[in-house]
Amino acid sequence: MIHAEVIAIGDELLYGHTPNTNSQWMSAALTNLGVKVIQATTVRDEEAAILKAFEDAEQRATIILITGGLGPTKDDLTKPLLAHYFNSPMVLHAQALADIKGLLKSKGKALTPTNKAQAILPEKCTIIRNELGTAPGMWFEKNEKVFIAMPGVPHEMQKMMLATVLPKLKNTFELPSIYHKIIKTVGMGESGLVDKLQPWEEQLPPTMQLAYLPGIGEVSLRLTAIGSQLEKLQEEVEAQVQQLTLVAQQYIYGYDEDTLEGVVGSLLKAQKKTIAIAESCSGGYISHRITRIPGSSIYYQGGIIPYQNEMKINLLAVSTEALHTNGAVSEEVVIEMAQKVRKKFKTDIGLANSGIAGPSGGSYKKPVGTVWIALTDGKVTYTKKLQLGNDRLTNIQLTAIALLNLLRQTLLTHTTQQGCSSV
Amino acid sequence: MIHAEVIAIGDELLYGHTPNTNSQWMSAALTNLGVKVIQATTVRDEEAAILKAFEDAEQRATIILITGGLGPTKDDLTKPLLAHYFNSPMVLHAQALADIKGLLKSKGKALTPTNKAQAILPEKCTIIRNELGTAPGMWFEKNEKVFIAMPGVPHEMQKMMLATVLPKLKNTFELPSIYHKIIKTVGMGESGLVDKLQPWEEQLPPTMQLAYLPGIGEVSLRLTAIGSQLEKLQEEVEAQVQQLTLVAQQYIYGYDEDTLEGVVGSLLKAQKKTIAIAESCSGGYISHRITRIPGSSIYYQGGIIPYQNEMKINLLAVSTEALHTNGAVSEEVVIEMAQKVRKKFKTDIGLANSGIAGPSGGSYKKPVGTVWIALTDGKVTYTKKLQLGNDRLTNIQLTAIALLNLLRQTLLTHTTQQGCSSV
């Protein structure tokens, strides 16, 4: 495989305040292209250190991607150092100047001497056009190796990679085909999933790699195949995903870019169903996750956050008796909340939760992390008790995932059972 | 200054799926200690590459922090390679074995041969105890340089850094004092702030560094002073912050770890005031930000998310006439929403928003990104129209920040004017 190194230049990346998202993004893009990233180096704004990084990378890798240090200030050393490294005079590149003028014009700005200086670049490089900023990228070739320098502004670099660098790398090098598939699961922890999937994992061909990517309340599996024919790889991976589905279907909610709230939204749209939610311990977070999906107003009618008991009574008409007998964090109350919010908003489905998010507010009988969730479609009601930990934000997130997953499972059951509501 | 390099080991960091949070966290911790991080290197699980990284780092830096590759599998090369690098035999470390046994016992697990092998470590290293996992850390010294290896699991590494590594580095090296202060602002963009603060920035002493850290809807300023006496540095920085306050007080909402919702919560608690909110375009996000703060149930009474016009009428009793005449995204409707939610929840203050989050749903008169926000205390009502962009999630976030900031400003005015409500 072709080896690559990514180099990020800038003191600010070494202070620890600014995350180095560029190196990660470029590594993912190269990996998806079938290039093996063997090292990532972050180097300070210092001439000798940057030149040493260029030299070392050239020893190790065939493709060297560089970001940062292309601005117009004197801290920005990348351009003069590349000119030095490739022993190339600086010249005005007409295309670069035209692009800078065009960009400034579109923003109603005039060309300054500083802007113009950004079009003066090493003669030996091919310009990589920058549609979103005034610093052009540079492509150098030397001894069958390529050095590519791009600005450190993430959206400028990403656009240049997608529009120019990745296609050009594909044309320049003979790269293997690569096929990735991410399988997204919910409802089982990583170690449980590892045990459950062991027989499936053991029969995977040696050309296929499996990685577990655990998140909060979710685990993603990444299956990667490398070979020569993309179509064949795709077929092989999809066949393995089919096999996986036989053992873990109930946990798989989607693939690749899918989100739990997006998948639930698609199911609701397909089934022309509407929802409303009474969020107590999740405090609006579930509604936020649902409504951040464009077009969610088709199925999401609204929500109530009755953060105080009095509001559960006044706004949702939860019965005083249920509250007094069982307390707010109880199956009885959460069922009433789901039923009443469904009626209030006149939806097909009502959802609710009530719990102790923490870090305080727990008792011996109901410790912090005790959460009840409920779903009702007017005929059937499902409830579940969660016993979570002590971290408030994690409890809120896990409550959201549990309730979204309950909704997903209910919608799937209705689909497969064609309208039968008893599960 | 003492120079450091951080090395992260692991193929998974070079695929681009897993962010390298360890290098960032360690860089921030070292910077705060007064150590200059000069390079960050991420290297694959390959013997020669790892050894080369050790050698290169030793050339460049005095302190070398290493994470990853300490697990019990054969991919985990860090331990044998360090033994090789320091030419040290492997021995069983009694303290390490006792710690591993203790940790397993607390989880009700028995010692396996794999666990026991983790206590076999190079003789020349000092053990760094790991309270949260079974892989001990290692501290090596050679030619007045130190190599410190820790597991790649973030919370294990962080705990070891805080408990052992940082205090020991402070004792081992003569480090300068360093004082950081982060000033958090809201309500003005980065370039406006740069212009406004230029005179202040120009009079800063050369020993003090200023950095702008822009975020969505917020800009943080980081002021850093390095010297010999911490108390003196603190005094100097605080004096500069005082000066800054004179020119930018209205934009400064807090310092260091403060959040907008946390600051607003403290003001509400101090003034013994309660709030409720009717969220339309923000879909629950503002309630989520408020309720993720522990103890927010003292001042946050609840919220309504009337995502459909009908619900604005039925649940909030917004007048049909106001809706029909002006449309849901209008000053009239958002005022009614704030007033009605305040009454429903019997709170001191009612908040509301209504807008077009996008990406679709706009019109010529009300394009995507048009948002109205309102706040009322029953006597005085404030409104504001925002004209945001096309990105749904950004619009939701900017709406939240604008409304939280309006609440902050209102509460501050009430404090300074001692209860007078007309602003």
What DSSP line would sit under B200-231, residue for residue?
A: HHHTS-TTEEEEEEE-SSEEEEEEEEEES-HH
Interface of A with B in 352-391 (CB under 8 A): 357-360
Q: Tokens 């020349």 belong to which residue?
A: B124
B304/A300 touch (CB, cutoff 8 Å), yes or no = no
Tens digit of each residue's pLDDT (9 = 90 or more) over A170-208: 999 999 998 989 999 999 888 888 889 999 999 999 989
pLDDT in the model for residue B214: 82
- Chain B nearest-CA distance from A123, in A, is 30
pLDDT exceeds cutoff 80 at B422: no
Angstrom distance (rounded) from CA A70 to CA B176? 32
For residues B231-259, give the mean pLDDT.
96
Of B15, B283, B294, the CB nearest to A27: B15
- Split at pLDDT 50, 70, 90, the class of A394 is very high
Q: From residue B262, how far is each of A105, A356, B293, B299 by CA, in Å? A: 43, 20, 6, 12
Q: How many Cα atoms occupy the beta-carbon half-sphere of A196 within 13 Å?
A: 17
Do domains A3-172 and A177-255 share one topology? The answer is no
Set of chain A residues whose Cβ sits within 8 Å of the Cβ of B28: 15-17
Angstrom distance (rounded) from CA A53 to CA A66? 10
Q: Which token pair is A37?
A: 């990233």
Of B12, B46, B393, the CB nearest to A292: B393
Of B38, B282, B306, the CB nearest to A302: B306
Using DSSP, state whether B278 is helix, strand or coil: strand
Judged by a CB distance cut-off of 8 A, whether residue B219 touches chain A is no
Architecture, CATH, for domain A3-172: 3-Layer(aba) Sandwich (3.40)
Architecture, CATH, for domain A177-255: 2-Layer Sandwich (3.30)
Alpha helices (H) along B131-187: 154-160, 166-172
Which residue has better confidence, A344 or B191? A344
C-beta of residue A212 within 8 angstroms of C-beta of residue A221 = yes
Q: Which residues contact B16 (CB under 8 A, 6 or more apart)?
A: A24, A25, A26, A27, A28, A29, A30, A31, A37
Nearest residue of B to residue A275 by CA position?
B307
The least confident of A151-155, A370-374, B62-66 is A151-155
For residues B172-200, give the mean pLDDT.
92
Judged by a CB distance cut-off of 8 A, whether residue A213 touches chain B is yes
- Chain A nearest-CA distance from B213, in A, is 8
Interface of B with A in 276-315 (CB under 8 A): 279, 282-288, 290-292, 294-297, 300-308, 311, 314-315
Nearest residue of B to residue A215 by CA position?
B18
Q: How far is CA A341 from the centre of its chain?
A: 32
Centre a 10 Å sphere on the Cβ of residue B132 and count the other Cβ atoms it contains. 14
Tens digit of each residue's pLDDT (9 = 90 or more) over A33-81: 999 999 999 999 999 999 999 999 999 999 999 999 888 777 789 999 9
pLDDT exceeds cutoff 60 at A423: no
* E strand or H helix at B373: strand B370-376
Tens digit of each residue's pLDDT (9 = 90 or more) over B329-368: 999 999 999 999 999 999 999 999 999 999 999 999 999 9
Set of chain A residues whose Cβ sits within 8 Å of the Cβ of B213: 17-18
Set of chain B residues whose Cβ sits within 8 Å of the Cβ of A37: 14-16
For residues B375-385, give the mean pLDDT.
97
- Split at pLDDT 50, 70, 90, the class of B423 is very low
Angstrom distance (rounded) from CA B311 to CA A210? 48
For residues A286-302, give the mean pLDDT.
97
B304/A308 touch (CB, cutoff 8 Å), yes or no = no
Tens digit of each residue's pLDDT (9 = 90 or more) over B80-123: 999 999 999 999 999 999 999 999 998 888 898 888 999 999 99
Set of chain A residues whose Cβ sits within 8 Å of the Cβ of B211: 12, 15, 17
For residues A264-273, give the mean pLDDT.
98
Angle between helices A260-270 and A392-416 (to 10 degrees): 30
B283/A290 touch (CB, cutoff 8 Å), yes or no = yes
Centre a 10 Å sphere on the Cβ of residue B102 and count the other Cβ atoms it contains. 10
Classify B260-416 by CATH class: alpha beta
Judged by a CB distance cut-off of 8 A, whether residue B274 touches chain A is no
pLDDT in the model for residue B114: 87
Angstrom distance (rounded) from CA B319 to CA B334? 11
B41/A44 touch (CB, cutoff 8 Å), yes or no = no
Set of chain A residues whose Cβ sits within 8 Å of the Cβ of B305: 284, 287, 291, 302-305
Q: Which token pair is B263?
A: 């600051």
Cα dihedral value B383, B296, A375, B346, nearest 10? -50
Judged by a CB distance cut-off of 8 A, whether residue A44 touches chain B is yes
- Chain A nearest-CA distance from B215, in A, is 11
Mean pLDDT over all residues of chain A?
93
For residues B134-143, give the mean pLDDT.
95
Set of chain A residues whose Cβ sits within 8 Å of the Cβ of B358: 294
Judged by a CB distance cut-off of 8 A, whether residue B342 touches chain A is no
Of A44, A287, A303, the CB nearest to B38: A44
pTM: predicted TM-score of the whole model, two decimal places: 0.87
- Split at pLDDT 50, 70, 90, the class of B75 is confident
Nearest residue of A to residue B306 by CA position?
A302
pLDDT in the model for residue B151: 94
Which residue has better confidence, A419 or A417? A417
Q: What are phi and psi of A229, to 5 degrees?
A: -110, 115
Q: Break chain B into its structural domains and give their ranges.
A: 3-172, 177-255, 260-416
Angstrom distance (rounded) from CA B281 to CA B58? 55
Amino acid at B187: G
Judged by a CB distance cut-off of 8 A, whether residue A5 touches chain B is no
Judged by a CB distance cut-off of 8 A, whether residue B191 touches chain A is no
The least confident of A249-253, B308-312, B327-331 is B308-312
pLDDT in the model for residue B189: 85
For residues A288-316, give the mean pLDDT.
94
Set of chain B residues whose Cβ sits within 8 Å of the Cβ of A393: 292
C-beta of residue A381 within 8 angstroms of C-beta of residue A341 = no
pLDDT in the model for residue A150: 97
Q: From residue A262, how far is each of A214, A278, A407, A412 by CA, in Å? A: 19, 20, 12, 14
% chain B with pLDDT above 90: 81
Using DSSP, state whether B242 is helix, strand or coil: helix
Tens digit of each residue's pLDDT (9 = 90 or more) over A368-391: 999 999 999 999 999 999 999 989
Of A44, A307, A344, the CB nearest to B297: A307
Mutate to test the interface with B, among A6, A12, A17, A21 (most CBs of B within 10 A): A17
- Split at pLDDT 50, 70, 90, the class of B420 is very low
B14/A307 touch (CB, cutoff 8 Å), yes or no = no
Mean pLDDT over all residues of chain B?
93
pLDDT exceeds cutoff 60 at A418: no
B302/A306 touch (CB, cutoff 8 Å), yes or no = yes
A19/B24 touch (CB, cutoff 8 Å), yes or no = yes
Using DSSP, state whether A136 is helix, strand or coil: coil
DSSP string, B245-267: HHHHGGGEEEETT--HHHHHHHH
